[in-house]
Amino acid sequence: MSLSPEQRREYRAIAHNLKPVIIVGDKGLSEGLQEELERALNDHELIKIKVASPDRDVRREAIDALCESSGAELVQTIGKIAVILRRAKQPNPKLSNLLRNK
C-alpha cells in the first residue's frame, strides 16, 4: 500500500500530537519489541517510534526493518522519530488514532 501525498499530510497532522509508543534502545530489534510493535499497530494503527541511536544510518535501517517485519507503511521520519501506519482489519474506535482524530 502506497500513500498519496494528501494521505501522508493527513496522517502527519494526526500524528503531530502523539507520543512515541515504541522506543528502540540498546538491545535493538528484540523479540519483545516486535511483539509490542504488533500490539501497538493492532490497537492504534498510526504510531510514533523513537530510535535512540545517534547514527543516522543505523536509525534508518532499524525503521526499515520494523516496517518490513510488521507490514507497516512509513509515513514520516524526523530525526530520531518515525511515524508508521498499518490499518487494522477491525479497528477499535476507542484505541485507533485514525478513528479518534477524525
Alpha carbon distance 14, 8 (integer Å): 10
Query: Taking the model in full, what pTM does it have?
Result: 0.91
Domain 5-85, architecture per CATH: 2-Layer Sandwich (3.30)
Rounded to whole angstroms, how far apart are CA atoms 11 and 72?
A: 13
Which of the pair, 85 or 27, is modelled with greater confidence?
A: 85
Is pLDDT above 90 for 101?
no
- Show contacts of 58-62: CB within 8 Å, 24+ apart: 62/24, 62/28, 62/29
Per-residue b/e over 74-97, b at no fewer than 16 CB within 10 Å?
Answer: bbbbeebbbbbbbeeeebeeeebb
At 38 the pLDDT is 94
- All structural domains of the chain with their residue ranges: 5-85
Average pLDDT over residues 59-81: 95
Residue 1 — pLDDT band, cuts 50, 70, 90? low
Q: Judge whether 20 and 43 are in contact, CB under 8 Å.
A: no
Q: What is the pLDDT of residues 11-63, one digit of tens each?
A: 999 999 999 999 998 888 899 999 999 999 999 999 999 999 999 999 999 99
| Inter-residue contact 86 to 45 (CB < 8 Å) | yes
